[in-house]
Structure 1
């Protein structure tokens, strides 16, 4: 894991711009606290921050080919690098290190851009090929690792995070109407990066930059393929894939652990990791986040029927893991410095509030013990776990399912945006257009029933829109403290296989995530096998909402520029509410206001409508 950055300019002599490439690189020191390196040629400058995971002494970057004509900066992990290295050796390649970066570099020398199709893993890397004067930006199939670029008059800037690009004077810190729509609408538009002029490399995509401009090639997308396996065979295949995936993703030269919430997803990964490590006489290490008094005072709601604590303990005892709870209190969660760190990590004020802060604090605590963590992220998208997958009204809604689910639970909420902002953005039209684009991109299968077609659409939207927000969040919060989080459920082999399994198979026992439950039940305690889906935890302590209200009141008094985006009437009414009875939409809006204020303070964006 690492942070990459770079600058290509076909007119400028970049050997005179060392200070700028250093500044771009250093914005991501948290992503790579172990080393910094740069490689500069007349028209190409590459920067790298390293988090050492594999081959600690030998994986230094940027890395160049033996003749110096090709250079690479690489972020991520190729879980099949040992097999690829063996194959490349048979083809005549010689290796000086044991790192996966060198394997990817030689893979490019052998196969060119098609090297991406040979990789199993999470990755985002850039290759400068002086033989053709081309830059290639390559991103993994599911978009686990981030990669952004900013076209300039004579080339391009790129980086793992927007902050690296924004450190270059050529990049303007402007957010236009399209950028604001990305911030305030529940969608993830392909290639959109919030900042005007900046783009995100699409998952499964290669962007090539040369003297003729930018060119985009998609090397992987989800395809509709007939699923011919029966239930027993399908369950067995899912388990076979998971065993292989977890074994690969446990490979590390530094301490590793698992994230455990007590839900089916994280518990399955914990149990399978425990079985793998036990073969070598090792115990799996697990961590969970909790809140002071959450178990004792838990109140069931529409999203969460049970607290996590008891199930976490059941799994830890069943697996025999070396377990630790990270327990947070309302004041720590609401600490303005913690919020600032979370917003700075994301580069965008996404407004998930305590779920961002708690994730950041969890990862910060884990980093004191481990450098690599395995997560259960994305199992709901792959296996159909969210409650709204199973709600007929939501499934039939002519919009994104997650949007319809929130609207169903909370009703039509008053807009918190200032009228002139709301009018300029036309969010309802934007969401409707985005939804139509998302549906149009879904692959079809001849002979599929209307119901199965609809479930394929819903699954595809989650795997290409919804999951990307969550993967980006997990990457940013973890890398902000130098922790590498791996996501086994995003292995493209598993995603492809389960995507094409019919909905009747995904719910063969009448419940959510039937295939995952069936594939891992033998390794789990009964309590977890029978537990109903519960999302990532959020504090229920009313003290937290009360602290938010006070902070927004202070913000209002300070005249923060961020408040110019919000409706004055809503703000006045929200601040007048009884602190003990702040509802979920109001608390959410407080989070947005505070995140926006932190973002304005960090980046000083120029808003252009």
Structure 2
């Protein structure tokens, strides 16, 4: 796991200043505390920061191919590198190191851009071909590792593992894209289709880009996609056996490391499954860690301790309290772009805890997206069945009218919070799901925006990203399409961004075995009846893991790994909530109605409404604008 950066001149082979590459790498030094390297040639420059995991003493980067024609910088891990090494050596390739980086170079020289389909793992890499004067950039299938790009005024393209690497380049403009603000308010993060800064883009997951000197910058090429269009047949017992085999393979392949290794353990189904399979494959106790909260209703550390005791792990626990709010500025700097997933802070804390004893930690991320584990999947499935029997001409007027007048009852028991469901049923499946996953629905955003911002935003609406993708998805049902969107938008934009930035901030490599692409491809072919039964998501996964885990772990209500910000904003952080309406950076933008912001805080602190999520969004937006120096 590392950080990469570089510059490539598209028009002519201008010299690249090594000091400029070095500054870009220095900005992401936290990603690679164990080593650094810079290489330049006419027209190109590559930089690398290394976190040593495999072949600790060897594999320095930038790395040259044996013939000196190609240079590589690479961030990530290739889990099948030993098999690829044997195959490539049999066809004449020579290797000087024991790591996976050199395998990528050899694969590129044998298969060219098609090499990416042979790589199993998480990666973002750049290969410069000195003879052809081309730069090849690639990102892994699901977007575990990030890659930012920007075309600059001198005709060059700059790239880096994080936005801060590009911000270190003096020619990068720091102008906020107003459409990214619309996206952020809707989703709580800036999706991979956009960046907070104009002119900066993210290479999409499962895409590559071949830049050629003397030619204009092309569009990225999609080299992998997930399809829900096929349905696997077979007995449940056979499906269980295949799933268990794939999970074991995914976990054991990610346990290969030349440094101490452990796991995050929340006590939920997914992390508990990973730890169970690690314990099965390990001769020594697995090192595990978890985070607790000072609000009992959100504290899962007791469940984690039970699993740790069951599998005899070396377990450590730490608690998060309102005092940790003081780290909000650190979080904003960590993510560069505004990022409001409230679980980022405890994720960072559990990464810090893990890093005290290990350098690699396995997580349970990905199973909810692949196996339909979110509560919203259950609602989507049920709503689609209702849509199928009620014509749109009836649903629109009836449910739309009811939803418009139904109160937003955050204080009520969950079954009585029907406003979102009614409004969702009024539209088609795609429109309904887009509303279901919005943090700030369109009505709230409209109320918060100033007239000036509405003019800047124009006709763009964030929901179009989800609705367009769902309608074009290779899928059979609304549930398929919802999961497709989660895998293509939510997973890389939120979940994987959160884990990458918080783990890299402390020099920890996080690995996600449940995002092994073979496991994801298998899950996408499962009949809906084994993904979801009644109101139970992840049915086949839970059924498979019953041989390892107790039912009260497998079937307890999903809790989620979030901070108790609702209670904090009414208690120790009430003053912070009130300050949001007068936040200097937000006020200077002119994007918002400050009286509306103040009312949001007052209504929340008084208990009239639960506005914790939007308040946290606004707080993180304010801090991010301050960090970027755009406000």
TM over 0.5: yes
Q: Does the 8 Å CA contact 2:581/2:595 hold for their aligned counterparts? A: no
Paired residue for 2:487? 463
Paired residue for 1:447? none
> What is the CA-CA distance between 1:92 and the residue it aligns to?
1.2
Distance 1:285 1:401, change over 3 A: farther
Match of 2:347 among 347, 354, 359: 359
Paired residue for 1:480? 505
Paired residue for 1:217? 221
**Cα separation, 2, equivalents of 1:562 and 1:569:** 11
> What is the CA-CA distance between 1:359 and the residue it aligns to?
1.5
> What is the CA-CA distance between 1:543 and the residue it aligns to?
4.0
Choose 544-553 or 373-382, whichever is displaced more. 544-553
Match of 1:566 among 572, 580, 592: 592
Q: Does the 8 Å CA contact 1:562/1:596 hold for their aligned counterparts? A: no
> What is the CA-CA distance between 1:525 and the residue it aligns to?
2.6
* Structure 2 residue 19 is the aligned partner of structure 1 residue 19: yes
Q: Does the 8 Å CA contact 1:401/1:458 hold for their aligned counterparts? A: no
Distance 1:123 1:556, change over 3 A: same
Q: Does the 8 Å CA contact 1:124/1:147 hold for their aligned counterparts? A: yes
Question: What is the SS of the residue equivalent to 1:185?
Answer: helix
Choose 95-104 or 592-601, whichever is displaced more. 592-601
Distance 1:538 1:125, change over 3 A: same
**Cα separation, 1, equivalents of 2:469 and 2:182:** 16
Question: What is the SS of the residue equivalent to 1:373?
Answer: strand
Q: Does the 8 Å CA contact 1:318/1:525 hold for their aligned counterparts? A: no
Distance 1:362 1:424, change over 3 A: farther
Paired residue for 1:518? 543
Match of 1:312 among 301, 304, 308: 304
**Cα separation, 1, equivalents of 2:116 and 2:146:** 15
> What is the CA-CA distance between 1:141 and the residue it aligns to?
0.5
Match of 1:389 among 377, 387, 410: 377
Q: What CA deviation, in whole Å up to 9, does each residue of 1:528-584 have, x standing for no partner?
A: 122222211322673454443323545666733556433211233245457473743
Paired residue for 1:260? 265
Name structure 1 gaps, 5 residues minimum: 299-305, 445-451
> What is the CA-CA distance between 1:105 and the residue it aligns to?
1.0
Choose 156-165 or 118-127, whichever is displaced more. 156-165
Normalising to structure 1: TM-score of the pair?
Answer: 0.89
RMSD: 2.6
Q: Does the 8 Å CA contact 1:308/1:537 hold for their aligned counterparts? A: no
> What is the CA-CA distance between 1:440 and the residue it aligns to?
3.2
Distance 1:67 1:532, change over 3 A: same
Paired residue for 1:343? 332
Q: How does 1:364-383 map to 2 (within 5 A)?
A: 364-383=352-371
Q: Does the 8 Å CA contact 2:332/2:620 hold for their aligned counterparts? A: yes
Distance 1:182 1:315, change over 3 A: same
Paired residue for 2:455? 424
Count of residues paired in the alignment: 581
Q: Does the 8 Å CA contact 1:517/1:529 hold for their aligned counterparts? A: yes
Name structure 2 gaps, 5 residues minimum: 388-423
Normalising to structure 2: TM-score of the pair?
Answer: 0.86
Paired residue for 1:290? 292
Distance 1:558 1:406, change over 3 A: closer
Paired residue for 1:118? 118
Q: How does 1:68-147 map to 2 (within 5 A)?
A: 68-147=68-147
> What is the CA-CA distance between 1:26 and the residue it aligns to?
0.8
Q: Does the 8 Å CA contact 2:10/2:156 hold for their aligned counterparts? A: yes
Question: What is the SS of the residue equivalent to 1:214?
Answer: coil
* Structure 2 residue 202 is the aligned partner of structure 1 residue 200: yes
**Cα separation, 1, equivalents of 2:192 and 2:598:** 36
